[in-house]
Amino acid sequence: MRSIVSSFSLAMGLGISSLSMAAKPAKPVKKATVAPAATAAPAAPTQAPAQKWDFEVKADDSVFGVVTHKAGIAAKLAHNHLIAARQFSAAITADPTKLNEGSFTFKAKVNELEVDRNDLQKKWFPTVQALGWLSEPFSNLKDSDRDTIRENALAADQLDAQKFPEIEARVESITDSSSKIGGKSFAKKAEVSVTIHGQTVKRTFAANLNLQGPELTVEAAADFKFTEFGIQPYKALMGALGNDDKFNMLVSFRAVKK
C-alpha cells in the first residue's frame, strides 16, 4: 500500500512539474538586424592628361648672345661687342597650361657665332639699353675689323672653337618671381646651366615667358664672368685695352608650336 501511494505521489509530482513547465510562455525570438549597405565613396575626379607641345624657334626674331664690355686705360679706343648665335638648335617642350614645367635646351656652334653684325646690333640694342647694360650704341665696324675680332674670340686662348665646338644652355627649373634689370621687369626666374669652353656654370636668370595661342616668346638675362669658364678676358697692348671680365647673356626668342 505504501509503495502504491509513493508511486501515485511520484506520478502526480511529475504531472504537476510537466504542467508548470508547459505553462511558461516561450521567449520571443530576436529578429536579426541588417546593417544598411555602405554608400560607395564618389570616385575621385580624373585629371586631364598633360599636354605636351613642341616648339620651333624662329631665327629671324631670336638671339642667343653675349654683350662684352671694353676695359683698360685705353678703353676709349676699344669697343663693346655683341657676339651672337643667330642660328642655334633649340629643344622646347611644354604644357601650355604649365609653362614653368617646360623643358628648354639651347645649343650653338662656336664656329657659327656672329661678331658685331650691324643688323643684329641695331635690332637688339634697344633691349640691351633697356636692361641697363649699355648706354651708347655698339660701334659700326668695318668687315675687316669684325673678322679680326671674331678670329681673336674663337682662338685657343679664348673660346677655343676647335677644342670646345659647342655652347649649351639648359633650363633646370622655372619659378614665379618678380625682378628688375635696369628698366626691364621680369615675372619669373630660371635656374640655368650654361656650358662654355667645356665648363658648366649654374646661374639664375631673370625671365619672361608668354604664350599667345600657338606662339611662345621667351626672354632671359643674366651676368657672368669669363674667368668662371676658365677664360682670361681678351687683352691687347699689354693690357691697355681689352674686355672686362664681366659679360651679359641675353636669350630672346619667338617660337611657334610645331
Query: C-alpha grid cell for residue 168?
Result: 649649351
| Length of the chain (residues) | 258
How many CB atoms are located within 10 Å of the residue 90 CB? 20
Number of H helices, E strands in the chain: 3, 11
Whole-prediction pTM: 0.79
CA distance linking residue 258 with residue 256, whole number of Å: 6
Q: What are the angstrom distances between the C-alpha of 19 and each of 16, 24, 74, 244?
A: 5, 9, 135, 123
Query: C-alpha grid cell for residue 140?
Result: 659700326
Q: Please tell me what DSSP assigns to residue 142.
A: -
pLDDT per residue, tens digit, the chain (258 aa), is 444 334 333 333 434 344 344 444 455 545 545 455 555 556 555 555 668 999 999 988 999 999 999 986 756 768 999 999 977 889 999 999 999 999 999 999 999 999 999 999 999 999 999 999 999 999 999 999 999 999 999 999 999 999 999 999 999 999 999 999 999 999 999 999 999 999 999 999 999 999 999 999 999 999 999 999 999 998 876 555 689 999 999 999 999 999
Per the CB < 8 A criterion, the answer to whether 171 and 134 are in contact is no
CATH fold of 53-257: Lipocalin (2.40.128)
Per the CB < 8 A criterion, the answer to whether 87 and 257 are in contact is no
Per the CB < 8 A criterion, the answer to whether 248 and 222 are in contact is yes
CA atoms within 13 A of residue 71's CA, in its CB half-sphere: 13
CA distance linking residue 174 with residue 23, whole number of Å: 90
pLDDT of residue 51: 86
Query: C-alpha grid cell for residue 135?
Result: 648706354
CA distance linking residue 257 with residue 79, whole number of Å: 39
Q: What are the angstrom distances between the C-alpha of 73 and each of 80, 156, 164, 227?
A: 15, 25, 32, 20
